[in-house]
C-alpha cells in the first residue's frame, strides 16, 4: 500500500500531465500567495463540463483543490467536495441508480445559499481561507471572497474568545478542511435572504485532505462547528430510500422546510460497493424559478426600459410584479444601480409580495392565480393538429441543408415550407423570421425550415428572440410552436466536412445566391468558407440558447447523397418524436424523386455579399462588376501585426476566466453575454508596430518601425506592381493583410476591462519573432508599451485603439475604480502569424 505522501505526489504528477491536454480533461492551475505565510499554494481546477462524464477520467473530482507549492513533498492544503449533481441531472443521480447503488442512513442537510469557503490550517496554526479557486491577497478583483470569508471567521472566533491559531492548529493536526457557506446579504445577495443574525458562516462539511473524497458525518461536523462558533446547517436523517423520497416529496409541495423557504437539500450517503462517500442534490424548482425570473426581467427593464419579457411560465404574476416595480425603478436611479450590482434584489421582491399580500408559495398554489396563469399560458407539452414547427439548421457552407430542406418540401408541398436567408436582400435581418412566420401562418402549413447556417450561438439566439417578439404578429397567441434543430456540424467532424464541402462548392460553381465561385475565384471562396469553419459553435443542449430547442436531430455530411440520407434521418426522428407532423415515412422511391428534384433547384435571386457602401464615389457591390476581386495593393505598410490562429481556444480561456472569477454576478453575466452573442472581435491580433509610431512615437518605437521596414523590405518590393487576388473576408475593410510566414510567441497575462472595452495583455520577450525554421529574428519585437489583444468592444462606438488608452492608464495609475483586472492562470505559450497590413 502506498503512503499518503506518495498518494499526493501521484496526484500532482497526474494534474501536471492533465494540464498538457488540449481540451477534454484538461487541468488548470494558478499559484496563490497566502494571507499569513510566505508559503505558496497551487489552486487546481477543471472545466465544469468535464465533471461527471463517463468518457473523461479526472485525476481528482474535487471542486476546490489547493496543494502546497513543494515539488519534493507536496501536501493538500484544502480540499472541497467531489462535484455532485442534482436528481436526474446525470445517470448516477437517477432514483433507480440511487436505490440500487447507495445505502442508508441518508443525511439530508439544508442547502444554504451563499458562496463556498474552505478553511484549513498550516503547521504554525496560521489559517488558510479559500474561495472556490483562489486564496490570499488579490489586486485583480473588486471583491475577494476568501478575504471576506476570513474576516467573518475571525469576527466569529473573537465573539467566543478563541484565538484563530487554535482553529488553524486543530485543522492542521487532523489534516482536514472545514467547508462553509458564507451567507451575508451585506456582502453578496443570492436568492434567499441572510440578514442580521442569520448572516454568517454555515459549516456543512469537514473533508479529509486526501486525493480520494472522504468526509465526516454530519453529527461530527455539527459538534466541530459548535465548538468554533459556526452557524449550524440544519439536517435530518432518513434511514432508507423510501422515507427519504417521502420526505423530499412532501417538502417539494411547499418549497419549504419547517415553514421556512429553502432552495433544496444536499443528501449525503455511502455506496454499497466500497462504502465511499456519495453526495447528491435535491433542488426545489419553485418558488425560486419565479424569483429568478423576476430578477432577470428587472435587470432587463433597467437596461432596456422595455417590459417585453420572453418567458413561458408565470406570465400573469410576473406582469403584476412589473406593474409594481417599474414605477419604483423609474423614480430611483440609485436603486437601479445597486440592483445591477447585486444588491436590493430580495428587498424589492419582498416589497412586491407584501403589497400583493401573499408569499411566493401562496401565489403559486392559489387557485384563482393558477386559473389566471393557465388562461395566460400555453401548454407547451400538448402536441396536436394545431401545433406548428420551425426548423433551425446549424451548419457551415456546403453541408447540404438547403437540399435536405427542399427534399422534404418536395415530399410535403402543402404542409412544409422553406425560407432561404440568401433570398433576402434587404437590411432588416429579422425579415428571415417574418417571412418564416408568415409562411407558417398559411392554412395547412405545418412546418417551415428557417434556412440559414446559424453556426453561432448569436445567430440561434437571434432566431429565438425574433420568434418571441414577432410570433403574435402572425399567429394566434396560444399557438404552440416547437423548434427543432438540424445539427450538421460538430468540431469532431469538421476536418471531414471541410474536404467534402470544398469539393461540393467546386461542383456547384455559381449555382448559389451569394457564393459565386467563378466570379470570386477559389481562393476568395475558400476564404469565406474558412471564416465559417473558424466561427463554428456547435450545438450545446445544456446552455442557452440551444437548451431552448425542443428536439435536436444529429445529421452527418458524407460524399454520397448525404442530403438524401439526412432527409430520411429527419423523417425517422420526426415520426418518433412528433408523429402529428410525420405520421408516416415516405417510401425510398418517393425520397429519391424528391431528392432529384431538389438537386435541380436553381436560385433566382442574386444576393450582394459584403460591404456595398459606395467608396470614393464608386459602387463596390459585387453586382456592379463581374470580375474576380483583384487590385494593385498600396505597398506602404500601415502596421505590422500577429494574428492568433487559436482564437476559439483563447475565447474559451477568457470565458472560463470570467466564469470562475470573483467579480460580482451581474457584471459577470453581462460580460459572458457578449461571448454568447459573439460580440467579440472578429480577429484577435497583437499590433507589433504602427506607422503612426514612426512619426509620433518614442525613439524606441521609431527604431522598431525602421527595423520591421528594413527586414520586410524584399517582400514589400516584390508586392509593388503585383496585382493580388485578395484572400480576405468580403466584409473586411480596405486593409490588405499579407502573411509573411514568421511567428510571434506569447503568453496571456491579464484581462482588463472597463465599461468600454475588454483587452488581454500578453507577455512577450523583447525579441519574439521567429522565422519559418524556428530561428529568432534579431531586433524584432513589440513596440507597444503594453502588448495586448483587443477582445471585446463593450460600448458601441468605442474604437479598438482605446485598448492602448486603457493599458496605458493602468500602467500609470494602477487598477482604479471602474477598471477590472483578472490574471490568467494558463501558462500556455501561443503562436501568432506575423502579417504586413497594407
d(CA 357, CA 513): 60
Is 111 designated active site? yes
Kindly write down the DSSP assignment for every residue of 36-91, as one continuous string: S-S-EEEEEEE-GGGTT-TT---S--BSSEEEES-SSS--EEEE-PBP--BTTTSG
For residues 168, 169, 170 and 173, what is the CA-based torsion angle, rounded to 10 degrees? 130
Element (H, E) at 819: none
Say if CB 748 and CB 827 are below 8 A apart: no
Say if CB 81 and CB 63 are below 8 A apart: yes
Give ∠ CA 44-50-52 in degrees, rounded to 5: 110
Q: Where are the alpha helices (DSSP H) in 545-659?
A: 562-577, 588-599, 647-659
Q: Which residues is 205 bridged to in the sheet?
A: 179
Which of 421, 436, 523, 522 shows the shortest CA–CA distance to 481? 436
d(CA 522, CA 201): 64
Say if CB 742 and CB 825 are below 8 A apart: no
Which of 475, 416, 477 shows the shortest CA–CA distance to 450? 416
The grid cell for 132 is 472556490
Which of 136, 131, 178 shows the shortest CA–CA distance to 157? 178
Count of C-beta atoms within a 10 Å radius of residue 623: 11
Say if CB 657 and CB 751 are below 8 A apart: yes
CB-facing half-sphere around the CA of 199: CA atoms within 13 A: 15
Give ∠ CA 328-330-333 in degrees, rounded to 5: 95
Kindly write down the DSSP assignment for every residue of 393-451, as one continuous string: EE--TTS-HHHHHHHHHHHSTTTEEEEEGGG--SS-TTHHHHHHHHHHTSTT--EEEEE
Say if CB 603 and CB 802 are below 8 A apart: no
d(CA 119, CA 98): 31
Say if CB 569 and CB 432 are below 8 A apart: no
Name the DSSP letter for residue 584: S
The grid cell for 630 is 483583384
b/e code 473-500 from CB counts within 10 Å (16+ = b): ebbeeebbbbbbbbbbbeeeebeebbeb
Say if CB 546 and CB 554 are below 8 A apart: no
Quote the distance between the C-alpha of residue 488 and its chain's center. 21
- In the numeric block, the cell 430510500 is attached to 241
Quote the distance between the C-alpha of residue 183 and its chain's center. 26
Q: Which of 13, 100, 111, 132 is catalytic?
A: 111
Strand arrangement, sheet containing 200-208: 127-130, 115-121, 176-183, 200-208, 231-232
| Catalytic residue ranges | 111
Amino acid at each position: 500500500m502506498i503512503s499518503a505522501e506518495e498518494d499526493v505526489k501521484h496526484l500532482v504528477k497526474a494534474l501536471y500531465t492533465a494540464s498538457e491536454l488540449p481540451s477534454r480533461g484538461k487541468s488548470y492551475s494558478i499559484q496563490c500567495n497566502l494571507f499569513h505565510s510566505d508559503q505558496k499554494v497551487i489552486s487546481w481546477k477543471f472545466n465544469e463540463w468535464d465533471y461527471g462524464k463517463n468518457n473523461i477520467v479526472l485525476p481528482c473530482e474535487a471542486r476546490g483543490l489547493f496543494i502546497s507549492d513543494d515539488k519534493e513533498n507536496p501536501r493538500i492544503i484544502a480540499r472541497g467536495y467531489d462535484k455532485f449533481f442534482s436528481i436526474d441531472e446525470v445517470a448516477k443521480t437517477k432514483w433507480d441508480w440511487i436505490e440500487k447503488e447507495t445505502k442508508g442512513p441518508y443525511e439530508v442537510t439544508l442547502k444554504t445559499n451563499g458562496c463556498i469557503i474552505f478553511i484549513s490550517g498550516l503547521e504554525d496554526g496560521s489559517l488558510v481561507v479559500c474561495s472556490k479557486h483562489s486564496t490570499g491577497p488579490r489586486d485583480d478583483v473588486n471583491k475577494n471572497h476568501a478575504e471576506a470569508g476570513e474576516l467573518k471567521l475571525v469576527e466569529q472566533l473573537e465573539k467566543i474568545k478563541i484565538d484563530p491559531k487554535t482553529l488553524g492548529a486543530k485543522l492542521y493536526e487532523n489534516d482536514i478542511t472545514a467547508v462553509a457557506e458564507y451567507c451575508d446579504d451585506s456582502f453578496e445577495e443570492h436568492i434567499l435572504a441572510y440578514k442580521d443574525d442569520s448572516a454568517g458562516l454555515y459549516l456543512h462539511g469537514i473533508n479529509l485532505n486526501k486525493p480520494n473524497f472522504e468526509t465526516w458525518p454530519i453529527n461530527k461536523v455539527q459538534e466541530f462547528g459548535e465548538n468554533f462558533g459556526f452557524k449550524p446547517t440544519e439536517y435530518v436523517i432518513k434511514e432508507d430510500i423510501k422515507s427519504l423520497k417521502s420526505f423530499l416529496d412532501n417538502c417539494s409541495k411547499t418549497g419549504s422546510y419547517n415553514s421556512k423557504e429553502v432552495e433544496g437539500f444536499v443528501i449525503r450517503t455511502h455506496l454499497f460497493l466500497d462504502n465511499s462517500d456519495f453526495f447528491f442534490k435535491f433542488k426545489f424548482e419553485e418558488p425560486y424559478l419565479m424569483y429568478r425570473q423576476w430578477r432577470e426581467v428587472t435587470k432587463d427593464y433597467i437596461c432596456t426600459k422595455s417590459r417585453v419579457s420572453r418567458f413561458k411560465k408565470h406570465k400573469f404574476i410576473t406582469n403584476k410584479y412589473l406593474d409594481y416595480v417599474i414605477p419604483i425603478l423609474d423614480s430611483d436611479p440609485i436603486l437601479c444601480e445597486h440592483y445591477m450590482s447585486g444588491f436590493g434584489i430580495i428587498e424589492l421582491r419582498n416589497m412586491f409580495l407584501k403589497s400583493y399580500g401573499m408569499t411566493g408559495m401562496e401565489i403559486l398554489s392559489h387557485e384563482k392565480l393558477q386559473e389566471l396563469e393557465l388562461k395566460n399560458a400555453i401548454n407547451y407539452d400538448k402536441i396536436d393538429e394545431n401545433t406548428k414547427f420551425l426548423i433551425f439548421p446549424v451548419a457551415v457552407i456546403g453541408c447540404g441543408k438547403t437540399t435536405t430542406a427542399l427534399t422534404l418540401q418536395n415530399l410535403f408541398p402543402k404542409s412544409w415550407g422553406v425560407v432561404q436567408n440568401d433570398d433576402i436582400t434587404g437590411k432588416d435581418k429579422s425579415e428571415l423570421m417574418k417571412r418564416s412566420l408568415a409562411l407558417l401562418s398559411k392554412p395547412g402549413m405545418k412546418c417551415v425550415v428557417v434556412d440559414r447556417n446559424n453556426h453561432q450561438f448569436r445567430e440561434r439566439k437571434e432566431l429565438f428572440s425574433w420568434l418571441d417578439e414577432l410570433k403574435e404578429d402572425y399567429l394566434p397567441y396560444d399557438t404552440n410552436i416547437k423548434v427543432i434543430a438540424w445539427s450538421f456540424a460538430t468540431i469532431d467532424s469538421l476536418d471531414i466536412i471541410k474536404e467534402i464541402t470544398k469539393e461540393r462548392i467546386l461542383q456547384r460553381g455559381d449555382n448559389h445566391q451569394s457564393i459565386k465561385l467563378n466570379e470570386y475565384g477559389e481562393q476568395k471562396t475558400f476564404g469565406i468558407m474558412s471564416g465559417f469553419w473558424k466561427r463554428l459553435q456547435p450545438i450545446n443542449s445544456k446552455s442557452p440558447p440551444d437548451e431552448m430547442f425542443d428536439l435536436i436531430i444529429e445529421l452527418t455530411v458524407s460524399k454520397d447523397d448525404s442530403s438524401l440520407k439526412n432527409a430520411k434521418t429527419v423523417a425517422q426522428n420526426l415520426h418518433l418524436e412528433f408523429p402529428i407532423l410525420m405520421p408516416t415515412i415516405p417510401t425510398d422511391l418517393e425520397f429519391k424523386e424528391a431528392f432529384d428534384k431538389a438537386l435541380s433547384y436553381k436560385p433566382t435571386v442574386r444576393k450582394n455579399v459584403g460591404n456595398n457602401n459606395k467608396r470614393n464615389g464608386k459602387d463596390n457591390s459585387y453586382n456592379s462588376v463581374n470580375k474576380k476581386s483583384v487590385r494593385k495593393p498600396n505597398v506602404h505598410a500601415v502596421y505590422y501585426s500577429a494574428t492568433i490562429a487559436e482564437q476559439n481556444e483563447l475565447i474559451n480561456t477568457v470565458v472560463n476566466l470570467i466564469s470562475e472569477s470573483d467579480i460580482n454576478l451581474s457584471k459577470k453575466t453581462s460580460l459572458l453575454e457578449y461571448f454568447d452573442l459573439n460580440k467579440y472581435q472578429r480577429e484577435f491580433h497583437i499590433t507589433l508596430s504602427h506607422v503612426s509610431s514612426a512619426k509620433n512615437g518614442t525613439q524606441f518605437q521609431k527604431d522598431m518601425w525602421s527595423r520591421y521596414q528594413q527586414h520586410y523590405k524584399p517582400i514589400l518590393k516584390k508586392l509593388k506592381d503585383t496585382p493580388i487576388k485578395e484572400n480576405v473576408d468580403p466584409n473586411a475593410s480596405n486593409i490588405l493583410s499579407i502573411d509573411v510566414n514568421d511567428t510571434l510567441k506569447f503568453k496571456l497575462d491579464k484581462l482588463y476591462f472597463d465599461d468600454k472595452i475588454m483587452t488581454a495583455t500578453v507577455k512577450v520577450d523583447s525579441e519574439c519573432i521567429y522565422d519559418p525554421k524556428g530561428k529568432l529574428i534579431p531586433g524584432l519585437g513589440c513596440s507597444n508599451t503594453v502588448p495586448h489583444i483587443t477582445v471585446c468592444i463593450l460600448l458601441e462606438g468605442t474604437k479598438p485603439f482605446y485598448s492602448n488608452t486603457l493599458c496605458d492608464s493602468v500602467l500609470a495609475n494602477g487598477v482604479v475604480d471602474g477598471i477590472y483586472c483578472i490574471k490568467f492562470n494558463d501558462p500556455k505559450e501561443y503562436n501568432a502569424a506575423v502579417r504586413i497590413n497594407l
